[in-house]
Amino acid sequence: MTSPALAPAASPTATPSPWRHRTARIERIVPEAPGVTTYGLAVDAPSLPHYRFAAGQFNMLYLPGIGEAAISISSDPEAIGCIDHTVRAVGNVTHAIARLDAGDSLLLRGPFGTAWPLAALRDRDLVFIGGGLGLASLLAAIRHCVRHRGDYGRIAVVHGAKSPADLIATREHRRWHEHGIDVLGIVTDPTPDWHGPVGLVTAAVERLDIDPAAATILTCGPEPMMTAVADLVIARGVEPDHVFVSIERLMGCAAGLCGLCQLGPLFICRDGPVLAYGQVARWLRVKHL
């Protein structure tokens, strides 16, 4: 059972209404990988003083007449200015967002959901493990740790992707290294110029030097990947209470009403997306649930 000190963190501020939309303008567009782009959104001035989020939370991005999509917030929670969302164009809403230009506007609801328990993890070693675009859900937490590097022990970031071109946030690797953060990328389909490891994320995790008594694992990616990672690190001696996952599910309302994101007894939009692995392990093992 997860102790209260290690429960996923709640939002730093309450959203007045889950149905309230804010206008957000696209300030910058940064290509990350094929089909993946980061959009820096500036929230309208009247809302900005009241808008706060915690690393691991998400927003609902809305285009009238098209629909909404739940997108993780990837920027540093303490950064002033744009709120970053890293988006893969895979559906009607995200393809429509991909057609927007800097200066265009959309609507935003949020922030929603639980967050990574970073305040409770001070002085511990942190291992961030992202599979594919799952790294986007970890970026806000990694950027927080860069800003507050002295609050934590050893930090490692593992990112697995299909090809080297699919690795995101690579432009930040140098800065992470400068702050004493180990970065390991691994791909399943290497190109001739790839000199890193080849295989699944679990192969990279097996290579890590982890102190099981001091490490906390924070992971996001496909559910089978997260289950495999959690089982692996727990087998290596990491306490189950120190394994956290971020679950990505189809969401329609973000208020626990529509039921699209239900996993067992949980609604991911309300009870997640960040959850202690012990809360969801039995449900993640049920195929197609």
- pLDDT tens per residue across span 7-37: 787 766 555 577 888 899 999 999 999 999 9
Which of the listed residues 112, 139, 163 is the one where a domain comes to its end?
112
C-alpha span between 40 and 100 (Å, rounded):
12
| Same-domain check for residues 124 and 262 | yes
Q: Starting from the edge strand earliest in sequence, which strands make up the sheet with 105-112, in order?
A: 67-72, 58-63, 105-112, 22-33, 36-43, 83-88
| Same-domain check for residues 269 and 175 | yes
- Among the listed residues 63, 121, 53, the one whose alpha carbon sits nearest the alpha carbon of residue 91: 63
Burial class (CB in 10 A: 0-12, 13-18, 19+), 49: exposed
| Same-domain check for residues 189 and 244 | yes
Give the predicted TM-score (pTM) of the model.
0.93
Position 79 in a domain:
yes
Q: Which two tokens stand for residue 289?
A: 């649930």
Position 257 in a domain:
yes
CA-CA distances (angstroms) from residue 30 to 26, 35, 279?
11, 11, 35
Query: In the predicted model, is pLDDT for residue 45 greater than 70?
Result: no
| Same-domain check for residues 70 and 147 | no
Total domains, the chain: 2
Q: Which domain holds residue 167?
A: 118-284
C-alpha span between 220 and 158 (Å, rounded):
11
Neighbours of 117 (CB within 10 A): 24
Q: What is the CATH number of the domain that holds 152?
A: 3.40.50.80
When pLDDT is averaged across residues 206-229 and rounded to a whole number, the result is 96
Position 205 in a domain:
yes
Q: What's the pLDDT score for residue 12?
A: 64
- Among the listed residues 85, 81, 77, 76, the one whose alpha carbon sits nearest the alpha carbon of residue 109: 85
Burial 10-43 (b: 16+ CB within 10 A, else e): ebeeebeebeebbebebeeeeebbeebbbbbbbb
CA angle 145, 263, 18 (to 5 degrees): 65
**Mean pLDDT in the chain?**
92
Query: In the predicted model, is pLDDT for residue 288 greater than 70?
Result: yes
| Same-domain check for residues 26 and 57 | yes
C-alpha span between 103 and 24 (Å, rounded):
10
Which of the listed residues 65, 96, 112 is the one where a domain comes to its end?
112
- Which residues are paired to 107 by β-bridges? 23, 62
Position 210 in a domain:
yes
Q: Which residues contact 17 (CB under 8 A, 6 or more apart)?
A: none
Position 289 in a domain:
no
| Same-domain check for residues 129 and 270 | yes
Q: Which residues contact 128 (CB under 8 A, 6 or more apart)?
A: 135, 138, 141, 142, 155, 156, 157, 158, 218, 219
Q: Which two tokens stand for residue 245?
A: 């996952």
| Same-domain check for residues 61 and 107 | yes
Position 207 in a domain:
yes
| Same-domain check for residues 182 and 237 | yes
| Same-domain check for residues 270 and 142 | yes
How many residues are listed for the chain in this entry?
289
When pLDDT is averaged across residues 116-143 and rounded to a whole number, the result is 97
| Same-domain check for residues 94 and 30 | yes
- pLDDT tens per residue across span 252-272: 899 889 999 999 999 999 999
Position 267 in a domain:
yes
Q: What is the CATH number of the domain that holds 107?
A: 2.40.30.10
| Same-domain check for residues 124 and 103 | no
Which of the listed residues 65, 82, 112 is the one where a domain comes to its end?
112
| Same-domain check for residues 80 and 173 | no
- pLDDT tens per residue across span 60-112: 999 999 999 999 999 999 988 889 999 999 999 999 999 999 999 999 999 99
- Which residues are paired to 128 by β-bridges? 157, 218
Q: Which residue has the tokens 């626990």?
A: 256
**Choice between 91 and 50, residue whose per-residue pLDDT is larger:** 91
The H-or-E segment that residue 267 falls in is strand 266-267
Backbone angles phi, psi at 85, to 5 degrees: -130, 125
C-alpha span between 82 and 268 (Å, rounded):
26
Q: What's the pLDDT score for residue 213?
A: 96
Q: What's the pLDDT score for residue 13?
A: 59
DSSP for 189-237, please give it. Answer: S--TT--S-BS-HHHHHHHS---TTTEEEEEES-HHHHHHHHHHHHHTT
- pLDDT tens per residue across span 172-183: 999 999 999 999
